[in-house]
Chain A
Amino acid sequence: MRVADSSASQSAGGVHWARLLRVCAIIVVCLVVFFPVYWMLLSSIQPTQYSLSFPPPLYPKGLNLAAYAQLFREKPIGHWLAVSTFVAAITVIATLIFVIPAAYALSGLHWHGRSAFGLLLLFTQIMPAAIVVAPVLALYRSFGWTNNLTALAVLHTAFVVPLCAWVLKSAFDAVPKEVVEAALIDGCNRLSVLPRVYLPLAKPGLVAVSVIAFFASWNEFLFASTLIIDSDLYTASLGIATLMTQLDTPLFQLMAAGVVFSVLPVLFYMAIQRHVLRGLTAGSVKG
């Protein structure tokens, strides 16, 4: 069951087979996980008539590398991606601005109402988000904020701040108390230990929070679809979802759009996943 490296006492042959089985099982898991992605890639680069035959071929029967060029030429996908990047960037920056002081207050300071504030943040997460769509729409109409990308980013921020506050709080909790005490003795005050001690030591937490905010905004569909009506302001998730419902979109284009939309977050995430996992598990996993 447990790690192979500590099972030296078992017979060498048995270990060998167990290892081989394990490797096979891991390969199967990877195939299952990767298959839909592979399928999306495959369907975007092979001519549609192959994708639309049954049984569908499991490897490309032909190549249509023009799919992507055609997609960018015929659909405003570049524009949608730019809009999504803009909204996500504002969301990340705004989230950091709101969440750093709040997480510090939750972690490093002692005050009345701290648990209440924590529970309030939790409350926002367990109420079904679908219920706020209509009231938010009414609110945004009264502000004249529909069709406004910055206002959409503010909303994304508001919905991701509670989670980020908790994640960053755990990261701050992991900062050794002795270091903080030493800094306080050395002349830092309760406010200046935040930039001088907490932020440098909680970098994985900051990375994790930025990634969560970026993904939440990049992924978000429900609010975007109700607040953004002007098609010039569509985010990528909204634009691609409309491609999906338009019956005249060629299949390979739809798949190519899906691939293009996924590439950025996947690469982004792979590049920094180690930090993210460290940041996310700092508080939840003991040790």
Chain B
Amino acid sequence: MVVEAALTSAAIAHDAPARPLRRGLIDGAALPYLLILPALLLECVFVLYPILRGSLVSLENFDGSLGLDNYRFMWSDPDFWRMLGHTLIYTLTVDVLVLVVALAVALLMNWSFPGRGVVRSILTVPWAIPDVPVAIAFVFMLDPSFGVFNRLVRLLPFVDQNQNWLLDPTLAMAAVIIVTVWKGFPFYSLVLLAALQNVPDELYDAARVDGAGPIGQFLHVTIPGIRDTIALLAVLAFIFATQQFTLIWLITGGGPVDATTTLAPAIYMQAFRFYNFGYAGAIAVVGFFISALATIAFIFIQRRLARET
């Protein structure tokens, strides 16, 4: 979910030093370690240990010895490369669309108008609805014979028959992207709106005095003012999209054939349909590196921007 706070804090993890006081156990050097101990144990047993175990089986060869068979097989497996392609298409499209739509809506809402609170409440609705009902609603709306999507699409001049959304590879991918964006953008909008409201009005006044029109103000005041937030949300959206399982699984099951099989469904299928736990682990490790790279790129860019300004 919302790791924006997490990522910002990770990027600036060295601030706010607290003066250490030495007075007994509860005030002493042991205190922080005692405080994190419960959470650390919980994470080690229920998250880290399973992650390590799940990843390390990927180093088990097909004959049980230690080696890179899984990775070698993955390298030569065309299905893996197709899956990676689907993952990138899905992730990047969702990422860009979600941010563009979210920013547009945030800009629309960035003024005081009557009913603003109501609009804000409506915008939070998709975020609050669990994935399962969202999938149910959209599967029904996408139905080829009586779905309302076809009623809307048929209004377009070049569409003269009902589309079979979930059986056409391109349309199925489009459908899961639409659903993900629909569910995701309102929340990003509200975060961006909060960021927009923190851009000082004086900056706009100064830009106006300098002769900047609306577009100039947008490019030179608005965008620099919220770019940290945008960068952060971009990474978040990226990680969430690579992790997306429930929506894809319930809407298309990864199909037709494998057209919407992205990372998370692929791992699940390898593990629970084909019982290739080692191969599932190898795919997860690749997924981890993709997300880790995105995160590192984010921290790097944010530090650079912070140094520039």
Residues of A within 8 A of B (CB): 1-6, 19, 22-23, 25-26, 29-30, 32-34, 36-37, 39-40, 43, 51-56, 58, 97-99, 101-102, 104-111, 114-115, 117-122, 124-136, 138-139, 154-155, 157-159, 161-163, 165-167, 169-170, 173, 177, 184, 189-191, 212, 215-216, 218-219, 221-222, 226, 236-237, 240-241, 244, 251, 254-255, 257-259, 261-262, 265-266, 268-270, 273, 277, 280-287
Contact = CB atoms under 8 A, between A and B. Distances in A.
A167 B50 contact: no
Contacts of B99: none
A161 B6 CA distance: 12
Contact of B132 (A173, A255, A258): A258
Nearest to B198: A287
5 nearest A-B pairs in the assembled complex, by CB-CB distance:
A166-B6, A131-B284, A258-B133, A287-B198, A158-B46
A1 B54 contact: no
Given A2-B222, A39-B148, A130-B264, A261 B123 contact: no
Nearest to B154: A55
B191 A1 contact: no
Majority-rule SS of A interface residues: helix
Interface residues on B, range: 35 or more
Interface string B140-160: 110001111011001000000
Contacts of B90: none
B140 to A, nearest CB: 7
Contacts of B133: 40, 240, 257-259, 261-262
Nearest to B266: A130
A43 B140 contact: yes
Contact of B5 (A33, A222, A283): A283
A280 B4 contact: yes
Contacts of B43: 120-121, 124, 158, 161-162
B39 A165 contact: yes
Contacts of B186: 33
A118 B10 contact: yes
A37 B136 CA distance: 11
Nearest to B28: A190
Contacts of B42: 98, 154, 157-158, 161
A124 B48 CA distance: 7
B125 A54 contact: no
A56 B8 contact: no
Given A2-B222, A98-B39, A212-B1, A133 B26 contact: no
A40 B137 contact: yes
- Give the interface centre of B113, B129, B138 by most chain A CB atoms within 10 Å: B129
Given A37-B125, A52-B146, A277-B190, A154 B272 contact: no
Contact of A128 (B26, B112, B267): B267
A119 B11 CA distance: 10
Given A111-B32, A114-B32, A126-B288, A218 B26 contact: no
Contacts of B47: 124, 132, 158-159, 162
B111 to A, nearest CB: 4
Given A128-B263, A240-B136, A269-B127, A173 B182 contact: no
